[in-house]
Chain A
Amino acid sequence: MLADEILRVENLYVSVEGTPIIKGLSLTIHRGEIHAIMGRNGAGKSTLANVVMGHPAYEITSGNIFFKGEPLENLEVFQRARAGMFLSFQYPAAIPGVQVGTFLKKSVASVRDDPPKGRAFRKELTAAMEKLSMDKSFLSRYVNDGFSGGEKKRLEILQMLLLQPHLALLDETDSGLDIDALRIVAQGINEVAADSACLIITHYQRLLDLVKPHYVHAMIDGTIVRTGGPELALELEDRGYDWLEVTA
């Protein structure tokens, strides 16, 4: 293992309710690297993000996942979060009655080793919210309850800034964002990505114009069929995936 290895997925097979979704996928991400996974709906992209985070509905039938060289299989979801893993959800769940401010404070307190308290926390929170052009009124709203798509994504990125993960999994964080919101979100991702490992799952090139990936992976039917640089994303946007299917 390289000193800076964060995530290593080895020949992974995953099923949901008996149906194979991921079929022999391998991937390694180091600190400071941004990887993008592109693919059509149903290719297994979101499944990969969820299974790395430990979603109980997904069954690993074969293969291994390592985080900083340690196998993940015995770590519960919250332990993965506390170890420094973060998933930005495609569809974050609403938690009615729980205020964003309370939620963020408790989450930061459980995840970070030396969490900022009191005034220090508020200062950090205010700074992060300003970066994301989020109004203070967010804090007294209920988590994701009645949020627009764009508001949900901003809250996800806000959490990422505050939790300071070593591995950030971003599941279609760009969907449902207008261009201004996309720029703001991209700024947040770039800030975190500088010092962590980042896996971006997306359908579109447009986020990758703003967050430059080091590697782009094309995923078809549960496996990575081609890996390239940023130019692969452009090619996929241009040509679609059919040409890869032939060669796969």
Chain B
Amino acid sequence: MSDDAQEIIGDYKYGFHDPENSTIRFDKGLSEQVVRDISELKNEPQWMTDIRVKAYRHFVERVMPEWGNCSLLNMIDFENVTYFLRSSNKTENSWDDVPDDIKNTFDRLGIPEAEQKWLGGVTAQYESEAVYHSIREDLEEQGVIFLDMDSGLKQYPEIVKKYFGTVIPHSDNKFSALNTAVWSGGSFLYIPKGVHVEMPVQAYFRINAKNMGQFERTLIIADEGSSVHYVEGCTAPSYSTDSLHSAVVELIAMDGAKIRYSTVQNWSSNVYNLVTKRAIAYRNATVEWVDGNIGSKLTMKYPSVLLKGEGAHAEVISVAYAGKGQHQDTGAKVHHLAPNTTSNILSKSISKGGGRSSYRGLLQVTPKSTGCRSKVVCDALILDEDSRSDTYPTMEIGNSTADLEHEASVSKVSNDQLFYLMSRGFNEEEAMGLIVNGFFEPFTRELPMEYAVELNKLLELEMEGSIG
């Protein structure tokens, strides 16, 4: 295999794929009819069909973002994407009923073992719809609802209708419009008042079909005084033609509620990963985004929090790894819309082999929001001369009582560090792996153990075969 091919396919542990075994697959391309067909096939209520159509019309008219990476964005061929694919006929309730090839894929990701150990529940999204879903009985008894989004719409239409698109309206940006028009799958999670979910609730997503867009839609509502940790893992097989992933994730933390949303996304290097994630935090609520981005061709993702109630708190911890031919344009946005709201943003990025990572952040404090505090720390590590790191911080501070800190650093691996580690028996790749894992450690330690282990392994793999 040539070095180039190796780099494209990567030492990508999860770069396998099963033969496509789709029951229903739409032709490529998007039209109002395709949008209506998706809705009809899912037997959706008319109001959802209307939202989809409206969003589609907005998508057609809406221009591309004029920032991030315009040349890559403009290369997306929306007519060459399949917008709906159903890979098994129904949502399964038991692991035994899941088709073998799909099960095989998940086995290789280790999901069933993980579930046995400590998972609160699993919704595994295989292509467009969840094929496997389970939830621990004690959660059900507490009134926790954890469903794939399609089932959520069927079983709890009144909740979905009330909150869907209230955090991220379809008109927010071109890709939120696209997602709203063609969404399929994703998670629907509702935590009743005062319920504390102790175990992380977890879902995995994969893209398995060539040129298959994945447009999952996630809605999480934590009612007053409740708390939950939702974990989403993402891996994708490698393909030579481009895939489009454009998700929308909406979180609502009511008064005194706490939501932590942890993601490690590991896309193959042909995927466009254009995700809109936003949360609303009401009075004394806390929202934490823990967001890791590895791989993809272009990721544009800026987890956001609207601090709407007094005393609300936002925490955004993110890492990005940009390898050869990859651009990670990531960051965070926090809007201090109420007094005495606080936020911490920690962003760490690594660029290697000509990769590019950009931090793009927005910090807003409105004039009426007195007594706000915010700390932003951005650290970039550049592993070679060909790679690049940029920072685009924006601050809109309308209140002079705000207490703000901003730190940014760009560093390189020092020869002293390498020599020291090599004198302890580590070869150069192992030494780099240690340094890189150490750099991401403030992020990794926030993850559930198995994610932390997987992330460290992935980073070590990324260091292999690329030095010297």
Contact = CB atoms under 8 A, between A and B. Distances in A.
B437 interface: yes
A106 B414 contact: no
B420 A89 contact: yes
Nearest to B416: A93
A93 B424 contact: no
Contacts of B431: 78
B430 A110 contact: yes
Contacts of B442: 97
Interface stretch (A30-38, A49-57, A187-195): A49-57
Contact of B423 (A81, A95, A142): A81
A77 B434 CA distance: 16
B441 A97 contact: yes
B192 to A, nearest CB: 38
A77 B438 contact: no
A87 interface: yes
B458 interface: no
A31 to B, nearest CB: 21
A110 B414 contact: no
A151 to B, nearest CB: 16
Contact of A98 (B416, B423, B434): B434
Interface of chain B: mostly helix, strand, loop or mixed: helix
A159 interface: yes
B427 interface: yes
Given A56-B415, A103-B434, A110-B430, A93 B420 contact: yes
Given A95-B434, A103-B434, A78 B439 contact: no
Given A95-B434, A96-B438, A77 B417 contact: no
Interface string B415-450: 111011111111110110011011111100000000
A98 B438 contact: yes
Interface in A70-100: 76-78, 80-82, 86-87, 89, 91-98
A91 B440 CA distance: 24
Nearest to B427: A78
A53 B442 CA distance: 32
Given A95-B435, A98-B434, A53 B423 contact: yes
Nearest to A102: B434
Contact of B425 (A82, A92, A96): A82
B420 A76 contact: no
Contacts of A81: 422-425
A106 B426 contact: yes
Interface string B79-116: 00000000000000000000000000000000000000
B426 A98 contact: no
Contact of B440 (A95, A97, A111, A142): A97
Interface in B219-249: none
Given A57-B415, A93-B416, A77 B423 contact: yes
Contacts of B438: 95-98, 142
A30 to B, nearest CB: 23
A86 B420 CA distance: 11
Contacts of B425: 78, 81-82, 107, 110-111, 163
Contacts of A56: 415, 419
Given A93-B416, A97-B442, A110-B430, A78 B437 contact: no
A48 to B, nearest CB: 15
Given A97-B440, A98-B441, A103-B434, A111 B424 contact: yes
A142 B426 CA distance: 17
Interface string A21-62: 000000000000000000000000000000001111100000
A245 to B, nearest CB: 32
Contacts of B417: 93-95
B437 to A, nearest CB: 7
B324 to A, nearest CB: 24
Interface in B376-432: 414-417, 419-428, 430-431
Nearest to B438: A97
A96 B439 contact: yes
A54 B420 CA distance: 11
A94 B413 CA distance: 11
Contact of A76 (B415, B424, B427): B427
Given A96-B439, A98-B437, A98-B441, A107 B424 contact: yes
A110 B416 CA distance: 20
Contacts of B439: 96-97
Contacts of A76: 422, 427
Contacts of B415: 56-57
Nearest to A91: B416
Contacts of B440: 97
Contacts of B420: 89, 92-93, 95
Nearest to B440: A97
A95 B441 CA distance: 11
Contacts of B428: 78
B180 to A, nearest CB: 40
B420 to A, nearest CB: 4
A186 to B, nearest CB: 22
A115 B148 CA distance: 48
A182 to B, nearest CB: 23
Contacts of B424: 81, 103, 107, 110-111, 159, 163
A91 B423 CA distance: 13
A159 to B, nearest CB: 7
Nearest to A53: B423
Q: Which 3 A-B pairs have the closest CB atoms?
A: A97-B438, A97-B441, A110-B425
10 contacts: A53-B419, A53-B423, A81-B423, A81-B424, A89-B420, A95-B420, A96-B441, A98-B435, A103-B424, A107-B425
Interface of A: 53-57, 76-78, 80-82, 86-87, 89, 91-98, 103, 106-107, 110-111, 142, 159, 163
Given A95-B421, A95-B435, 20 more contacts: A53-B423, A54-B422, A56-B415, A76-B427, A77-B422, A78-B430, A89-B420, A94-B417, A95-B434, A97-B442, A98-B434, A98-B435, A103-B434, A106-B426, A106-B430, A110-B424, A110-B430, A111-B424, A111-B425, A163-B425
